[in-house]
Amino acid sequence: MTGHDRISIALATYNGGRYIKQQLDSIQHQTHQNIMIHVCDDGSRDNTLDVVRSHALYQQGKIRLYPGEGGLGAMKNFRRAIACCEDGYIALCDQDDYWVPEKLALLLNEVQSHEQGGARPVLAFSDLAIVDTVLEPLYPSFYRASIKSSSASQPEDFVVSNHIPGCAMLFNRALKQLIEPMPDDIRMHDWWIAMIAAHSGKISYVDRPLIKYRQHSNNTVGAPGILRKRLLPDSLLCLRSYPTTRKHSHMMLSALKHFCQQHQSDHTDFLRVIRGEAGVRHKLSLMRRARNGERKLLSCAIWWMV
């Protein structure tokens, strides 16, 4: 194992004392151990910091702890944690999940097989098993239970929503250099990372659940596209979800438009759309081939307003 295999883990915490020991235990049991965990806390009022400081990984010098005063929220706290990852590859980590032992090794291998010596921005991600509070299985596969797509890899796939949970991601330094500075007004960090990887690099999927993704009442976002699947007809879901989805999509595309002013792109068809240069027929063509990750009626409504 060389220094080039170092993985920096960005772990954002807030009142995570109930589950964070199990998450740290699962990192301790990874087959790949050339790691440094950057724990950024957003003003926890429970025992989160005490649990972290008492863990063996902290005693071994594999955890760097950055307490905060609070008020950042999940996106900005993760942005802070990612900024702390100054060397190697970057993996994102939620405070309440559980990683299978091969997670880091398999995702690292996937990135390295595509990154062309580190010059190419690459994002690798895996499937997830959805579990309850005591890690009992609810769904063996996130992507088979969800309306999200594991095949999402092009910019148009991320216009309406994100498909890739941050906790399933591992990416290289070339991609980190592109995603920073992360815009203030995007909904979540993982959506931005996925969009930039799709636009300027390579996205690759490992078809294996490498995370036990815990569902509980305190999830910041929860497993997208699962719990509401088949609960509402398209028309009601569209009416209820359209304003918020439209707002988040608009903010993402506005940030991407600014990004494209500073970076070259081979996605000329997509650029015409976000610049407002595409006609209805062109937008429809792009929408039809996109994996939107939302119900059809809602996706059509968002694309119509792009």
Residue 249 has pLDDT above 70, yes or no: yes
Domain assignment present for 221? no
Asked if 210 and 297 sit in the same domain, the reply is: no
Q: Give the pLDDT band (50/70/90) at residue 290.
A: very high
- At residue 296, the pLDDT reads 87
- At residue 229, the pLDDT reads 47
Domain assignment present for 52? yes
- Tens of pLDDT, residues 31-78: 999 999 999 999 999 999 999 999 999 999 999 999 999 999 999 999
Residue 226 has pLDDT above 80, yes or no: no
Least confident span in 1-10, 44-53, 270-279, 281-290:
1-10
Domain assignment present for 226? no
Residue 234 has pLDDT above 70, yes or no: no
Domain assignment present for 281? yes
Choose one of 162, 184, 214: the last residue of a domain: 214
Asked if 160 and 196 sit in the same domain, the reply is: yes
Domain assignment present for 93? yes
Choose one of 214, 247, 281: the last residue of a domain: 214
Tell how strand 89-93 and strand 169-171 pair up. Answer: antiparallel
Choose one of 150, 180, 214: the last residue of a domain: 214
Domain assignment present for 222? no
Q: How many domains does the chain have?
A: 2
Asked if 62 and 188 sit in the same domain, the reply is: yes
Asked if 160 and 68 sit in the same domain, the reply is: yes
Residue 260 has pLDDT above 70, yes or no: yes
Asked if 51 and 197 sit in the same domain, the reply is: yes
Mean pLDDT of 167-191: 97
Mean pLDDT of 231-250: 80
Asked if 181 and 281 sit in the same domain, the reply is: no
Asked if 152 and 37 sit in the same domain, the reply is: yes
Instruction: Work out the mean pLDDT of the chain and round it to a whole number.
Output: 93
Asked if 118 and 243 sit in the same domain, the reply is: no
Q: Give the pLDDT band (50/70/90) at residue 306.
A: confident
Mean pLDDT of 274-291: 91
- At residue 241, the pLDDT reads 86
Domain span including residue 273:
234-305
Asked if 189 and 242 sit in the same domain, the reply is: no
Asked if 37 and 161 sit in the same domain, the reply is: yes
- Tens of pLDDT, residues 73-107: 999 999 999 999 999 999 999 999 999 999 999 99
Q: Give the pLDDT band (50/70/90) at residue 218.
A: low
Asked if 189 and 283 sit in the same domain, the reply is: no
Residue 1 has pLDDT above 50, yes or no: no
Mean pLDDT of 230-251: 80
Residue 76 sits in a domain of what CATH number?
Answer: 3.90.550.10
- At residue 225, the pLDDT reads 58
Mean pLDDT of 147-174: 97
Mean pLDDT of 167-196: 97
- At residue 217, the pLDDT reads 64
Asked if 148 and 115 sit in the same domain, the reply is: yes
Provide the percentage of residues in the chain whose pLDDT is more than 70: 92
Residue 222 has pLDDT above 60, yes or no: no
pTM over 0.75: yes
Domain assignment present for 92? yes
Domain assignment present for 14? yes
